[in-house]
A and B are shown apart, each in its own frame.
Chain A
Amino acid sequence: MDTSTVKIILQILHYLFFAYAFAAITSYIVLSIISGKETIDYLKKNSFVDYKDILSSTMSPSITIIAPAYNESLNIVENVRSLLSNHYVNYNVIIINDGSKDDSLERLIEAYELEKADFIINEKIKTQPLREGVFKSKNPAFEKLMVIDKENGGKADALNMGLNISKSKYVACIDVDCLLLENALQKMIKPFLEVTNAKVIAAGGVIRIANSCTIKGGKLVDVNLPKNLLVQSQILEYLRAFLLGRMAWSRLNGLLVISGAFGILDKETAIAVGGYDTQTVGEDMEIIVRMRRYMEEKKEKYRVSYIPDPLCWTEAPDSYKIFISQRNRWTRGTIETLRKHRKIGFNRNYGSFGLLSYPYWLIFERLAPIIETIGLLYFMILVILREVRWEYALSFLILSYLFSVLFSIVALYSEELTFHEYKKKGTGYKLVLLSALEPFVLHPFILYAAVKGNYDYYFNKKKKWGTMTRKGLATTP
């Protein structure tokens, strides 16, 4: 190969990277604008809504909260109590003790005066069998509660058991260690009840980070910005993802994922598609994609809704080790889902789902870390070959850095003008500073975890299955 061919190849690569970056940035700008519009609409619509009748009416549709628990004995009693005190009349709570090896079940029996109940399960979705059985409380004050003790089968399997058991029209799938605010169910059920021109198959909530917040008696009393830089950065990341990203995709009806930590599904549709997939580490994304696909194939109008109110608070990983393994799992979940449903991608039969949402996820979520890594390698080769044109490299590096800082600040604006959770004096300054630091303290680790996730997915099958049976309950935001 003579030098001119190398030069041409380099030149082409150059332009490809440039085009990719340009497209990514454009998409961010477009999504921000759409999310701004959607946020304003949402605020207008909700400026006069009265939830009182809905929450207290027995005519409101029934909801079952399904909360899988695995070795959660430390906090399970408190967490269940907070689930039982949601402000909604027509709901019940099913705790699925997924083969825990600790004393979770004993603690629940003791605290809620449970006794074994006769129960027959219509096994519409195949699951692991019961272990100790089904429990209900003797005390009418806890009538809403049901505890199922089953053999371990992972989070998806536990959720499927809940789907089989629930007699409600809707199921709210949550992580048992999340703090749900008391108005969570009434707010989340709203889209199902008000949309009349399409069937709402699922609604997703926002996940907020509870580290360093004061929780008293199942209530969020005080919101604080944690000291830990990693957790701080994740707060900023979540704000961007939820207030800008999800909000925009919700307007486009293009949401591919609702958080496994808190989302409501239409039970009938969830069962019709066969429930959660027990073979993936990203079951929360996968089921939404499958439900959408099902509706598209049935040619029925549907929606996946999104409620931006901060209703669900959870602990984020505060060590890099746990953080990386969490992101590694998310990466594998995304790859699995996109691969399993690759038929949808670029397929006109699936409408905007196939032509917009899927390709976007593939190109800007799934492939981004890979392209970034290739870019870095390419850059290093250039350095070795002394081919770097520093004046270009430097100016564009600074430009993209400034852009990412600006994007974070826009997300901060979105937060301040809507929910304004971080009220304390001095926090604003810290959040801006964080916007400047985040590209250095969080991004490299996300990239590393994503690359590792890719590696594990393709070359380390043992790891893939290993994490699944260990199955932490942490979920995609």
Chain B
Amino acid sequence: MPDIQNIMDQYHDLPFLIQLAWALSGVLSIAIVLLTIYLKIIRSYLRKKAQHHLAYKNKYEIFLVEYLYSGNDDGSLSDTQQTIIKKLKTSVKNKAKRKVIISILYKLMNEVSGEMSDYIKTLYHETGLINFAIDRLYNKNWYIAAKGIGELTRFNIEDVNEKVSEYALHPRREVRNEAHLYLVNLFRFEGLEFLNNLKTPLSEWAQVQLLETLQKFDDQQICDIKPWLRSSNNSVVLFALKLAKIYNQFEVQDTLMELLNHENKTVRIASIEVLTNLYGLEAKEMLKANFKDLSLEEQISFFEMLEKLVIPSDEPFIEKHLFHKNFEIQLLALKILKSINLDKFMAIDKKSNHKKANPEILKFVKST
């Protein structure tokens, strides 16, 4: 083949840079061709996977519905149910099928309760799905362990709580979070014990999830939250403040008063808000006395408190701040004055030439 020989000879005569460019171009071309072929393979694989997923979903959905409706009246498993469990037992060995079955059960656990959810749990045990989740707990990849914990939480599996507790202080936030949810889901307020030892911040995301989990239960008997209000971990304090607000913890008012002097501003502001909800009249007097020393945000929160807890004797204080330089405060002060002393409020007009007065606010409060 003289031509190729010829090209090779010419190539060897070229300067180094050009040789390099051509060599790289060759490599890139081959890479492009290979990647294109592989892309085709991946795409058809994904397409097939999606088709299977859909087919499985339709198949198992009907299976499960049948299973759920064929129970005996006394709650024990009927023959039909036994047969379905047997069939599913072989299916769950296949990873793709298992995924589909789990996802259907997962969704249903959120939506149905009573005898149906009991049946689902039985199914979860009997088909051996539970073992796959427990195996995951021991996986060395954190995200697989986290996934396992999540699944065991959803199906209320209690027997693994010791293993899961080990994850409550895991270095990865995501894993910790799943473990915390598991504990609270099973042991409710007692599950919150991990807060005592928590040194890492509890993210807002985790807090919301924990609160939602707690609110799911009918039994709303809350434990003592004082230790958490005094925690050195600010995120734990903020979480405890949310608990105090949701569960109307009148008994912790004194601790909340202490928090008004907390070093963290967010904590101070949250405390004012909670005390507002708890009719903290004592706190109101205290804040009123220290008003000048508060930060602007705290001052605003305080006026929001006043709006709810105002009594006639607050009038001189409000009058003093009628034309506060801050918009929100001025608005709140005028609103409050209107609510406690309409005559005085209507008389403001004449003396509203105060240099910080915002005529728009006055007009607005008058009209509403």
A–B: direct contact at CB < 8 Å: yes
Whether the Cβ atoms of B212 and A405 lie closer than 8 Å is: no
* A432 close to chain B: CB less than 8 A: yes
In the bound complex, residues from chain B placing their C-beta under 8 Å from that of A196 are 173, 200-203, 235
Residue of A nearest to B38 (CB): A413
Residue of B nearest to A120 (CB): B364
* B108 close to chain A: CB less than 8 A: no
Report A193 CB to chain B, min CB distance, Å. Answer: 4
In the bound complex, residues from chain A placing their C-beta under 8 Å from that of B212 are 53, 56-57, 59
Q: Which of B140-157 contact A (CB under 8 A)?
A: 143, 146-147, 150
Whether the Cβ atoms of B211 and A57 lie closer than 8 Å is: yes
In the bound complex, residues from chain B placing their C-beta under 8 Å from that of A413 are 35, 39, 42
User: Which single member of A193, A197, A409, A416 contacts B205 (CB below 8 Å)?
Assistant: A193
**A403 vs B207: C-alpha distance when bound (angstroms):** 47
Bitwise interface map of A from 35 to 69 toward B, beta carbon under 8 Å scored 1, else 0:
00000000011011010111011011100000000
Q: Looking at chain A's contact residues, is the secondary structure mostly helix, strand, loop, or mixed?
A: helix
Whether the Cβ atoms of A399 and B46 lie closer than 8 Å is: no
Whether the Cβ atoms of B204 and A399 lie closer than 8 Å is: no
Residue of B nearest to A122 (CB): B327
User: Which single member of A53, A423, A429 contacts B209 (CB below 8 Å)?
Assistant: A53
User: Which single member of B36, B39, B202, B204 contacts A61 (CB below 8 Å)?
Assistant: B204
Binding stretch for chain B, among A141-149, A259-267, A291-299, A388-396: A388-396
User: Which single member of A48, A120, A406, A423 contacts B150 (CB below 8 Å)?
Assistant: A48
Residue of A nearest to B49 (CB): A420
User: Which single member of A53, A194, A391, A403 contacts B18 (CB below 8 Å)?
Assistant: A391
Whether the Cβ atoms of A416 and B39 lie closer than 8 Å is: yes
Whether the Cβ atoms of A406 and B31 lie closer than 8 Å is: yes
In the bound complex, residues from chain B placing their C-beta under 8 Å from that of A396 are 21
Whether the Cβ atoms of A399 and B40 lie closer than 8 Å is: no
Q: Which of A180-201 contact B (CB under 8 A)?
A: 190, 192-197
Whether the Cβ atoms of B28 and A57 lie closer than 8 Å is: no
**A401 vs B242: C-alpha distance when bound (angstroms):** 59
In the bound complex, residues from chain A placing their C-beta under 8 Å from that of B205 are 54, 190, 193-194
User: Which single member of B15, B178, B202, B361 contacts A120 (CB below 8 Å)?
Assistant: B361
* B356 close to chain A: CB less than 8 A: no
In the bound complex, residues from chain B placing their C-beta under 8 Å from that of A429 are 40
In the bound complex, residues from chain B placing their C-beta under 8 Å from that of A348 are none
**A124 vs B208: C-alpha distance when bound (angstroms):** 31
Whether the Cβ atoms of B39 and A412 lie closer than 8 Å is: yes
Whether the Cβ atoms of B367 and A409 lie closer than 8 Å is: no
Q: How large is the interface on B (under 10, 10 to 19, 20 to 34, 35 or more residues)?
A: 35 or more
Residue of A nearest to B177 (CB): A194
Q: Which of B319-343 contact A (CB under 8 A)?
A: 327-328, 331
User: Which single member of B15, B43, B242, B331 contacts A59 (CB below 8 Å)?
Assistant: B242
**Are A405 and B208 also in contact (CB < 8 A) when A48-B146, A122-B328, A392-B18 are?**
no
User: Which single member of A47, A56, A60, A432 contacts B143 (CB below 8 Å)?
Assistant: A47
**A50 vs B24: C-alpha distance when bound (angstroms):** 46
Whether the Cβ atoms of A193 and B204 lie closer than 8 Å is: yes
* B29 close to chain A: CB less than 8 A: yes
Whether the Cβ atoms of B143 and A45 lie closer than 8 Å is: yes
* A375 close to chain B: CB less than 8 A: no
* A6 close to chain B: CB less than 8 A: no
**A191 vs B14: C-alpha distance when bound (angstroms):** 55
Residue of B nearest to A425 (CB): B47
Whether the Cβ atoms of A399 and B110 lie closer than 8 Å is: no
* B50 close to chain A: CB less than 8 A: yes
Whether the Cβ atoms of B25 and A53 lie closer than 8 Å is: no
**A54 vs B28: C-alpha distance when bound (angstroms):** 46
Whether the Cβ atoms of A432 and B203 lie closer than 8 Å is: no
**Are A53 and B203 also in contact (CB < 8 A) when A395-B18, A399-B25 are?**
no
Whether the Cβ atoms of A432 and B36 lie closer than 8 Å is: yes
* B251 close to chain A: CB less than 8 A: no
Report A184 CB to chain B, min CB distance, Å. Answer: 17
In the bound complex, residues from chain A placing their C-beta under 8 Å from that of B5 are none
In the bound complex, residues from chain B placing their C-beta under 8 Å from that of A194 are 173, 203-206
Whether the Cβ atoms of B39 and A47 lie closer than 8 Å is: no
* A417 close to chain B: CB less than 8 A: yes
Report A189 CB to chain B, min CB distance, Å. Answer: 9
User: Which single member of A44, A59, A120, A403 contacts B208 (CB below 8 Å)?
Assistant: A59
**A331 vs B361: C-alpha distance when bound (angstroms):** 43
Report A127 CB to chain B, min CB distance, Å. Answer: 14
In the bound complex, residues from chain A placing their C-beta under 8 Å from that of B150 are 48, 50
In the bound complex, residues from chain A placing their C-beta under 8 Å from that of B331 are 120, 122
* A106 close to chain B: CB less than 8 A: no
* B174 close to chain A: CB less than 8 A: yes
* B313 close to chain A: CB less than 8 A: no
**A396 vs B209: C-alpha distance when bound (angstroms):** 56
Whether the Cβ atoms of B50 and A428 lie closer than 8 Å is: no
In the bound complex, residues from chain B placing their C-beta under 8 Å from that of A50 are 150, 209
Bitwise interface map of B from 161 to 175 toward A, beta carbon under 8 Å scored 1, else 0:
000000000000110
* B221 close to chain A: CB less than 8 A: no
In the bound complex, residues from chain A placing their C-beta under 8 Å from that of B173 are 194, 196
* A16 close to chain B: CB less than 8 A: no
In the bound complex, residues from chain A placing their C-beta under 8 Å from that of B361 are 120
**A15 vs B342: C-alpha distance when bound (angstroms):** 82
Bitwise interface map of B from 201 to 228 toward A, beta carbon under 8 Å scored 1, else 0:
1111111110111000000000000000
* B132 close to chain A: CB less than 8 A: no
Whether the Cβ atoms of B213 and A48 lie closer than 8 Å is: no
* B1 close to chain A: CB less than 8 A: no
Whether the Cβ atoms of B364 and A395 lie closer than 8 Å is: no
**Are A45 and B208 also in contact (CB < 8 A) when A118-B364, A122-B327, A402-B28 are?**
no
In the bound complex, residues from chain B placing their C-beta under 8 Å from that of A193 are 203-205, 208
Whether the Cβ atoms of A48 and B203 lie closer than 8 Å is: no
* A8 close to chain B: CB less than 8 A: no
User: Which single member of B22, B31, B178, B209 contacts A48 (CB below 8 Å)?
Assistant: B178
* B368 close to chain A: CB less than 8 A: yes
**A395 vs B36: C-alpha distance when bound (angstroms):** 23
* B360 close to chain A: CB less than 8 A: yes
Whether the Cβ atoms of A402 and B201 lie closer than 8 Å is: no
Q: Which of B42, B43, B327 has the most CB of A within 10 A?
A: B43
Whether the Cβ atoms of A48 and B143 lie closer than 8 Å is: yes
User: Which single member of A48, A402, A432 contacts B25 (CB below 8 Å)?
Assistant: A402
Can you sample 6 A-B contacts with CB below 8 Å?
Answer: A47-B147, A50-B150, A193-B208, A398-B25, A409-B39, A417-B42
Partner-B contacts on A (CB < 8 A): 44-45, 47-48, 50, 52-54, 56-57, 59-61, 118-120, 122, 124, 190, 192-197, 391-392, 395-396, 398-399, 402-403, 405-406, 409-410, 412-413, 416-417, 420, 423, 425, 428-429, 432
Q: A119-B364, A423-B46, A423-B50 are in contact. List 7 more A-B contacts (CB 8 A).
A: A48-B150, A48-B174, A59-B242, A122-B328, A395-B21, A399-B25, A423-B47
Of all A-B residue pairs in the complex, the 4 with the closest CB atoms, nearest first, are A53-B212, A196-B201, A193-B205, A395-B21
